[in-house]
Structure 1
């Protein structure tokens, strides 16, 4: 018979993760379940989930919640969704939502407390992040947006990961096509109609909607502009190629830090030095002052059309 153990940090560390452990693993050490129950009742330990405990009465940390979710779900379980996004260094759009854990389709486990269980025939190969089994980036992104019914939230998740160069539109589209089609309509629309057209932010998606509903000429989204010698000039948010008009969407959030603002001013100066007309619009105005923005763009367009169009090479996003 194994020696009986106490519910203490040493015992938990020997079978647990981030200071939490499965009751079944503790009893396998020789710790009676009655001892675990008494210590929980006395406040010396805490029940985090059914069958998962931690030493001490304090609230579990984020790491402990994530570890508890994996221990509750059982072997080969993988954290996905917003929690996985956060651990990949991206934004969790709904941080108060339950932790999504994907398990093998044959596993009999149900959602509980702060854990959402999803059975899948496509169990991803986990990546270890801080000792936790985390879904690959593309899977985490798609599992997140499939659960969102807010268009701008879907846009935010998808544009962030592409804008930061962490993955591509093609890889996200492939992951979306390969998985469950439940909740796929909005992300499919954003990937195909917006990111596929070069849009790289929620603000640019709003601008694209405004442009589509106006009678303004054709615009390219996020093209890279070069002079005839091949020297890079800038990447414009929007660009009217027939007259050489750049449309900059001035996001306050993006330009809040001085280095970002300085970088923006330098980019505009390069475009203007090369003879481009540059129009500026705050994102909120594309929602609240649509007619005025369209009229301003027409004015900038006419100004650009009155000048010789600069000779440049345009590379689409």
Structure 2
């Protein structure tokens, strides 16, 4: 193959991805290291990481950073953590953080610049998304939450992926148990004590803590309520006290800000009231700033519900187990 005299987009594109290439691959094309260095010094090519360059002098894009991270880490490496979550269509809790790349435990490679290297004996089989090798979703989720030390951030990551139906609590629990136990205390708590009982959001996790302090009777989280005769679906309240027929709704402003969302909430409340339920509403912010008052109000709603006949409904718990009330 004839030697090329310059590092140009054609050369980089032939061995790279998103305009990023490994220096080793360029030299294998016939480019000399000195030529690459001169082009870097002249500003025609930019060094992104040690041994990785890109065309042009501008800042690397998000795609170029991800491609550079894989090239730097070497063969069989996979992107995990928040970057992988984002590319799986979920929320990266630390979008400006380092890119986590998993490599085989025998590979001698260290973290550098914006790349965090983790050597692992459980290197997952990659899923290729837009040309980039990613860890499977469950692994990416657990690798993300193991690195977070804020409970609400861990809650946010885990509840989003479960609520969107992308995985299950059981699968995440199995992935958590199979890997490194470093940093697993918070995700283990959320999976077992919150998601495991049917909680679907960070606000509902706050409500779970309020309920625990209230000394109120047991509650079901996110059960589905049906007419026991016709099987007509009624609603899925955030929480439900089956002994008295009290529904507890956590009114997130994000879901009720738009008029159609608010209308939907009002229609759901009307359906529940039509079946004899008492419906209590609480704004999420008050679950943290006004806990004592919320508990008092919830007790008031509970006593009101207890003073009425309990509706005869078919209640299907979040676990899928039906029961009658």
* TM-score (norm: length of structure 1): 0.98
Give the gaps of 5 or more residues in structure 1. Answer: none
The 1:257/1:80 distance shift into structure 2, 3 A limit, reads: farther
* Paired position in structure 1 for 2:277: 276
SS at match of 2:165: coil
Give the secondary-structure state (helix, strand or coil) at the position aligned to 1:254: helix
Q: Distance in 1 between matches of 2:254 and 2:175?
A: 30
**Which residue matches 1:65?**
65
Question: Aligned-pair distance for 1:97?
Answer: 1.2
The aligned counterpart of 1:301 is 302
8 Å CA contact retained: 2:5, 2:35:
no
- SS class of match (2:255): coil
Gaps of 5+ in 2: 319-325
Distance 1:290 1:25, change over 3 A: same
Provide the secondary structure at the position in 2 that maps to 1:307.
coil
What is the alpha-carbon distance in structure 2 between the residues aligned to residue 85 and residue 125 of structure 1?
16
Contact 1:5 1:29 in 2 (8 A): no
Asked if 2 retains the 8 angstrom alpha-carbon contact of 1:105 and 1:121, the reply is yes
Partner of 1:289: 290
Instruction: After superposition, give the CA deviation of every residue in 1:217-245 in whole Å (9 maximum; x if it has no partner).
Output: 21111111111122211111010111100
Match runs of 1:126-275 below 5 Å: 126-228=126-228, 229-275=230-276
Q: Distance in 1 between matches of 2:72 and 2:121?
A: 20
Question: Offset at 1:2?
Answer: 3.4
Matches within 5 A, 1:65-104: 65-104=65-104
| Equivalent-residue separation in structure 2 for 1:112 and 1:118 (angstroms) | 12
CA distance in 1, matches of 2:146, 2:97: 14
- Of 268-277 and 249-258, the range deviating more from structure 2: 249-258
Q: 1:179 to 1:257 in 2, by over 3 A?
A: farther
- Cα 1:70–1:271 shift into 2, 3 Å: same
Cα offsets for 1:104-124 (capped at 9, x unmatched)? 010010000000000011111
For residue 3 of structure 1, report the CA deviation from its aligned partner.
Answer: 2.4
SS at match of 1:174: helix
Kindly state the Cα deviation for residue 5 of structure 1 after the two structures are TM-superposed.
4.5
The CA RMSD over aligned residues, in Å, is 1.0
Instruction: Note if contact 1:101-1:117 (Cα within 8 Å) is conserved in structure 2.
Output: yes
In structure 1, what is the equivalent of residue 317 of structure 2? Answer: 316
Report if aligned partners of 2:101, 2:116 keep a CA contact under 8 Å in 1: yes
**TM-score computed with the length of structure 2 as normaliser:** 0.95
1:156-176 CA distance string (max 9 Å, x none): 100010111111000000100
* CA pair 234-50 structure 1, distance change in 2 beyond 3 A: same
Alignment partner, residue 6 of structure 1: 6
- Partners in 1 of 2:241 and 2:302 — Cα distance? 8
Q: Distance in 2 between matches of 1:113 and 1:250?
A: 42
2: distance between equivalents of 1:100 and 1:192? 26
Partner in structure 2 of residue 18 of structure 1: 18
Question: How many residues in Structure 1 have an aligned counterpart in Structure 2?
Answer: 317
Which stretches of structure 1, 4 residues or more, deviate above 4 A after TM superposition? none
How far does residue 214 in structure 1 lie from its aligned partner after superposition?
1.4
**1:122-163 C-alpha deviation (Å, 9 max, x unpaired):** 111111111000111100000000001111110010001011
CA distance in 2, matches of 1:271, 1:222: 14
Q: Which moved more, 1:182-191 or 1:263-272?
A: 263-272
